[in-house]
Amino acid sequence: MSRVREQVKRDIAFREKENKPKITVAAKTSGECCNATVTIVKEDATLGNALRHEAAAHPETHFAGYSVLHPSKHEISLTVQAETEKKIEKILGDSLRALEGKGAEIADLFVSRLAGK
């Protein structure tokens, strides 16, 4: 069994044991801005920093930041600020798709270099 499948099984077992969803979103609107805080369990600064970077680079983002809530909890909290909740959803979706594309590009490059191409 591959390492990825083993990790997925561990993640599923963790979520079932803890009875927590993988991702929770809390949005708050005040004045002319909207903030959303996304909490992701079983992740660390590796994903948090990459998501923050992609979200901050998005042209509709006013602010993006992340924090590791506690080292022993394995949770990250990503905060994004934009004009509306819909824009925040778009920012998060675009950021995840951008990371997915970069991951695929890195994997392809790695495989081609490993094959000596």
112 vs 56: CA distance, rounded Å: 31
CATH architecture of 21-114: 2-Layer Sandwich (3.30)
For the stretch 22-61, pLDDT in tens is: 888 888 877 778 999 999 988 899 999 999 999 999 999 9
For the stretch 82-100, pLDDT in tens is: 998 889 999 999 999 999 9
Sheet holding 33-41, edge to edge: 23-30, 33-41, 75-82, 63-68
107 vs 110: CA distance, rounded Å: 5
Extents of the domains making up the chain? 21-114
